[in-house]
Amino acid sequence: NAGVTQTPKFQVLKTGQSMTLQCAQDMNHNSMYWYRQDPGMGLRLIYYSASEGTTDKGEVPNGYNVSRLNKREFSLRLESAAPSQTSVYFCASSGDRSINEKLFFGSGTQLSVL
Amino acid sequence: ILNVEQSPQSLHVQEGDSTNFTCSFPSSNFYALHWYRWETAKSPEALFVMTLNGDEKKKGRISATLNTKEGYSYLYIKGSQPEDSATYLCAFHPGNQFYFGTGTSLTVIP
């Protein structure tokens, strides 16, 4: 089982460029999430998708768009990258909607915007 | 935005010492409290999911307790080993999203 697969692992962008971070899970999970991790701050939720076809804003959605392409895949798009979006991005999924559901994380994408 | 606080921010202990750290969260709208272990260059991995007031969970030398009425959880590590060095995150789960604390960075000195 691959779990949660995230690509790319590293990316350098110039201000104004666009890019899409890809995330796929093979655990048949309903919910998927995008977080960003910045020094001195906890994981902050950008967007989440509680089920295929639905997406909702998290704490820091500005400058991002998402697509829940199907149950497996949840992509994060930066339309016009800004230096403030330099961060480490994590995709996560959770599955069974039980009270004991836990998050499974991808390996992260380190993004630098120059 | 919900406030989840962890203390201390970082901790250095000698191998063999026992240690504990705290997660504080809102005492209303409680659904679950998670603890994750995050090693350098890896992804966070779930340690415990705690759902009931008074819950105690244990995994080897690591244990956790939960007080939902006052809004805190403790994580304990007994006899710390160098391989316990990691950042320990807690996440408050009111049912729809997960709200993470900033973590406690633990370094165990051999």
Q: Which residue of B has its CA nearest to A41?
A: B102
Cβ contact (<8 Å) for B49 and A102?
yes
User: Minimal CA–CA distance to B20: which of B79, B83, B101?
Assistant: B79
B3-12 burial, b at 16+ Cβ within 10 Å, e below that, comes to ebebeeeebe
**pLDDT tens sequence for chain A (114 residues):** 679 999 999 999 999 999 999 999 999 999 999 999 998 888 999 999 988 889 999 999 999 999 998 999 999 999 999 999 999 999 999 976 677 788 999 999 999 999
At position A106, the amino acid (one-letter code) is: G
CB A94 within 8 A of CB A4: no
List the structure tokens of A74.
């949840």
pLDDT of residue A96: 61
Helix, strand or coil, per DSSP, at residue B88: strand
Cβ contact (<8 Å) for B44 and A105?
yes
- The tens digit of pLDDT for each residue in B53-83 reads 999 999 999 999 999 999 999 999 999 999 9
Round to whole Å and give the CA distance between A76 and A90: 10
User: Minimal CA–CA distance to B36: which of B79, B80, B108, B92?
Assistant: B92
CB B16 within 8 A of CB A67: no
Shortest distance, CA A101 to any CA of chain B (angstroms): 8
Cβ contact (<8 Å) for B46 and A103?
yes
